[in-house]
Amino acid sequence: MHIHSDIGIIHGVAMEAIVLYPSPGMGHLGSMVELGKLILTHHPSFTINILLTTAPYFTGSTAEYIADISATAPSIIFHHLPSISLPLEPASYSSAEALMFDLIRLNNLHVHSALQSISTSSTIHAFVIDLFCAAALDVAIKLDVPIYHFFTSGASCLALFLYLPEIARNTIKSFKDLETTVSLPCLPPIPLSHMPVPILERGTVEYVGVIDCMAKLAKSAGIIANTFESLEPKAVKALADGVCVPDGPTPPVFCIGPLIATNRQTGGDRDDKVPECLTWLDKQPSGSVVFLCFGSTGLLSKEQLREIATGLEKSSQRFLWIVRNPPSEDKSQSFLARSDPDLKFLLPDGFLDRTKDRGLVVKLWAPQVAVLNHDSIGGFVTHCGWNSVLESLCAGKPMVAWPLYAEQKINKALLVEEFKLSLPINESENGIVRADEVEKRVRELMESEKGNSVRQRIVAERNEAMKAMGEGGTSRVALAKLVELSKKV
């Protein structure tokens, strides 16, 4: 057990601690760190302890990021838990979710030891877990430590996830076979077939695990949501009214966002070296570039990459596009570090040369927050991951919604129909977005009245977000209430 020695007792008084427990992966870790930083900014008496699962496979490079945070925020202390021996080789699992559930369940022993160790010198006011760490609820109950969920998506998605166990109890069919929509007053019509892939097939390991995680959301002392009230007023009201958990009480929900990472390093250039893409953007006219990025795990087929390239070329728009290798047919490769894509092999012949005066293709990674906030960026084609949605909102950049996995189809429906902050993109019957559709939506985003209307709405919403996070704003008030509740322990 790697427990730092600088946790201690000051002048004979136990320190006040909050323990955060993300599931593996940079996206989960970065969100938890930002939560810790937010708490410390407004309530510096706490020490933030972050438990890091040591996975026996590659989950992304985090060492430099952790070193940066440790150097700049000494009140954030990382605990590297011992490595887990899995019952199967990673590639033998049916999915990443199935592997994750085994990893988190087997990690409970180390989580128990870490919480005990921290509690010998500190009062643990809150143990905050993410959705996939629900197995740790048993540890918290055993140690009588108050447990909270940090829900890294929005209030509307939270309302839906709290309600899904009720739907699951009242049907014997798989969600993929149900031709119905979710009926909650706070949501636009969302087909059950648009639920995250792991729960579409009833009875699988993934279905059982994810539905259990959703059910355990309602068992926590409170749920912290990365959103702000004025973005999702219907969902906030539905949660407060308890309509999403028909068979019991709904925990208090604290909307403390938008919480976005401003210095996250997930690969590529370090802070002391200006990335090529930012230098390139400096040379482009204001608001002229469309940015395309599909998240750290959003992998597209070679066929899809070529359709995007053709659509971008035909659109005549300036573009900055982040490209990764397509998913490998060899499952074992998904647990290894990603290699640089061969752009000449993946993209149409001559594409890079023909578009070099108005486009830049970047391999693997770019500093997304810095890119979105650049004056040259005029729009964002996104996979609808919630972090990316909030980053785009806070930068005031309109979106084209292109969901790929997880809850992203839900987010697309919200962005397009409820919030009106995005234009939709439409797939063909075989799941491929054709070049003509890419061209149409990129032009629409950058040149049309419809795109301009979305741009005006998102700038207005950005102003609301700034108010929520400011002195006396709803998110600041929610954070204060959360801290007050935790200190009653």
Read off the CATH number of the domain in which 111 is found.
3.40.50.2000
pTM: 0.93
Q: Are residues 143 and 254 in the same domain?
A: yes
Q: Are residues 93 and 229 in the same domain?
A: yes
In total, how many domains does the chain have? 2
pLDDT band at 488 (very low <50, low <70, confident <90, very high): confident
**Pairing, β 13-21 against β 9-10:** antiparallel
Domain membership of residue 196 (yes or no) is yes
- Domain extent for 384: 276-467
Domain membership of residue 6 (yes or no) is no
Domain membership of residue 4 (yes or no) is no
Q: Are residues 146 and 211 in the same domain?
A: yes
For 132-168, the pLDDT digits (tens) are 999 999 999 999 999 999 999 999 999 999 999 999 9
Q: Are residues 475 and 403 in the same domain?
A: no
Percent of all residues in the chain with a pLDDT value above 90, rounded to a whole number: 84
Q: 323: which residues sit within 8 A by CB, 6+ positions away?
A: 305, 341, 343, 346, 347, 361, 362, 363, 364
Q: What is the rounded average pLDDT for all residues in the chain? A: 92
Q: Are residues 246 and 283 in the same domain?
A: no
Q: Are residues 230 and 363 in the same domain?
A: no
Q: Are residues 193 and 217 in the same domain?
A: yes
Cα 468 to chain centroid, rounded: 20
User: Residue 272: pLDDT above 60?
Assistant: no
Domain membership of residue 271 (yes or no) is no
Q: Are residues 185 and 211 in the same domain?
A: yes
Domain membership of residue 30 (yes or no) is yes
Domain membership of residue 206 (yes or no) is yes
Q: Are residues 204 and 348 in the same domain?
A: no
Q: Are residues 160 and 84 in the same domain?
A: yes
Q: Are residues 243 and 301 in the same domain?
A: no
For 73-108, the pLDDT digits (tens) are 999 999 999 998 999 998 899 998 999 999 999 999
Q: Are residues 246 and 388 in the same domain?
A: no
User: Residue 467: pLDDT above 70?
Assistant: yes
Q: What is the mean pLDDT of residues 203-220?
A: 97
- pLDDT given for residue 116 in this prediction: 97
pLDDT band at 489 (very low <50, low <70, confident <90, very high): low
**Pairing, β 359-363 against β 289-293:** unpaired
